[in-house]
Amino acid sequence: MVFIEEVGQMVNFRTKGIFLAYDHGLEHGPTDFNDRNVSPEYIFDVAEKAGVDALILLKGAARRYYNKKSKIPLVIKLNGKTELYKGEPFSTQNTSVSEAVKYGASAVGYTIYFGSRYEKFMIREFGKIEEEAHAVGLPVIMWSYPRGEAVKDDEAPDIVAYAARAAFELGADIVKLKYPNDESKLNWIVKAADKTKVFLAGGKKLDDENIEGHVKKAVEAGFSGVAVGRNIWQSDDPVKRLKSLKEIINGK
Ligand code: FBP
């Protein structure tokens, strides 16, 4: 549950758990996919069998595949970019909060590449989205990814903590962060985020032991969950993987 000050009410959206991300078709292209997971139907099937806490889509898949009667809450990612673009990172809005509501969204997401030459545009766009979303009672999730020429090490704990704090300062309800390269600072990262709930981003596919190890350490440090894509739907048994991560997050 999230309390949204702007509408003065609790909103029924879980801020703890496991979110399945499937926006890679734009971000990376179909190179991430195989014959099975290239289809959104397969992803819906996995999400339903494992009972994820939210499914993250872009508007194209949401509009064509999301059934508003589904038990799985939908998060619409409002901005994105392709990997074909090679300049300073810049992700722009491609749909609005009101469109997301039409597709059945229970929350919206937005990426900011802090440190990029274009961060000012993303910060401004996020500010507008945050106000629009909260005004209609939708929680806001920030993909807080420091990146660009000025950012030498995006996994350095001080940089990840900065990304966490920036999300809090800009009003995000949940922030999605990369795993830092010094695990002893996980707790500080959670503290830096204050009331913003911290979720771990998955990254490239790891073996079972590694992904579970990361999630265990993050949860022990106070992370509220994971928002993960490739580590699930690229696995041979995505439902099993999701269930074991759920057990770690929610406790057995
Ligand atoms: P993964 O778990 O597959 O890393 O997905 C998380 C995510 O944030 C996706 O939502 C997004 O498409 C992707 O990572 C972007 O990854 P990057 O910008 O690091 O290539």
Q: Using alpha carbons, select from 43, 28, 58, 47 the residue that is nearest to residue 204.
A: 28
Structure confidence by residue, pLDDT tens digits, 163-182: 999 999 999 999 999 999 99
Is residue 123 helix, strand or coil?
helix
Per the domain annotation, does 3 fall within a domain? no
Q: Which two tokens stand for residue 154?
A: 């995006």
Per the domain annotation, does 6 fall within a domain? no
pTM given for the model: 0.96
Averaged pLDDT of the chain: 96
**Could you please report the per-residue DSSP string of 31-79?**
GG--TTTTSHHHHHHHHHHHT-SEEEE-HHHHHHH--TT-SSPEEEE-E
Establish whether 176 is a catalytic residue: yes
> Structural domain of residue 97, as residue ranges?
15-249
Q: Which two tokens stand for residue 31?
A: 């190179």
Distance 9 CA to ligand 1 centre (A): 31
Q: Which two tokens stand for residue 142?
A: 């920030």
More confident residue, 247 or 1: 247
pLDDT, residue 10, reads 80
pLDDT, residue 182, reads 96
More confident residue, 12 or 188: 188
Residue 28, amino acid: H
Per the domain annotation, does 2 fall within a domain? no
Contact 26, 184 (CB under 8 A): no
- CATH code assigned at 236: 3.20.20.70
What spatial distance separates the first Cα and last Cα of the chain, rounded to whole Å? 21
Mean pLDDT confidence for 89-106:
98
pLDDT(136) > 80: yes
Cβ–Cβ contacts within 10 Å for residue 203, how many?
15
pLDDT, residue 252, reads 66
d(CA 43, CA 20): 9
Is residue 160 helix, strand or coil?
helix
Percent of the chain with pLDDT over 70: 100
The pLDDT-based confidence of 100 (bands split at 50, 70, 90) is very high
Lowest mean per-residue pLDDT among 21-30, 192-201, 209-218: 209-218
- For the chain, the farthest-separated pair of C-alpha atoms sits apart, in whole angstroms, at 46
pLDDT(209) > 90: no
* Whole-Å CA distances, 166 to 18, 56, 180: 23, 22, 16
Q: Which two tokens stand for residue 209?
A: 């032991």
Per the domain annotation, does 195 fall within a domain? yes
Per the domain annotation, does 1 fall within a domain? no
Instruction: Please tell me the total count of domains within the chain.
Output: 1
pLDDT(236) > 90: yes
pLDDT(44) > 80: yes
Q: What is the DSSP letter of 5?
A: G
**Ligand 1, pocket-test mutation among 24, 147, 228, 245, most atoms within 8 A of CB:** 24
d(CA 77, CA 104): 13
Per the domain annotation, does 241 fall within a domain? yes
Q: Which two tokens stand for residue 207?
A: 């073996």
> Which atom of ligand 1 is the closest one to the Cα of 143?
8
The pLDDT-based confidence of 245 (bands split at 50, 70, 90) is very high
Per the domain annotation, does 9 fall within a domain? no
Q: Does the Cβ of 202 fall within 6 Å of ligand 1?
A: yes
Per the domain annotation, does 4 fall within a domain? no
